[in-house]
Amino acid sequence: MPCVFLYGTLKRGGTGHRLLQDQRFVGAARTQPAFRLYQLDGYPGLVAAGTDGRSIEGEIWEVTAACLAALDQFEGVAEGLYARAPIALLPPHDGLAVEGYLYRRSVAGRRDLGTGFD
């Protein structure tokens, strides 16, 4: 089953977490310092930032194909709002193949959230 890195409203306790019913929580994780997290309209957006990036806090979930399709719909993948892409993690999860959702629109003028979203 595929694994996803979740960093915002889909995490445990978040407003979108209902989509992860019956899925398996793998553990808390941090990305390699290659991303930035921005405050959007009530939810965060993760963007690739290369050498200007930070290590972002999140969770890894093992999900079914049906759940992954529901997550793609929730994140607006078909509309180009987010894209699912490989996410490089820090140890002990650095060998795990994980994807996450990267925000695809401009973050100009948006507040940088640092390393996490609560």
**Residues identified as active-site:** 75
Show the tokens assigned to 69: 């399709």
Contact call for residues 110 and 39 (beta carbons, < 8 A) = yes
Q: Does 92 sit behind a cis peptide bond, omega within 30 degrees of 0 on the bond before it?
A: yes
Q: Which among 52, 1, 47, 40 is positioned nearest to 24, based on CA atoms?
A: 1
SS3 50: helix
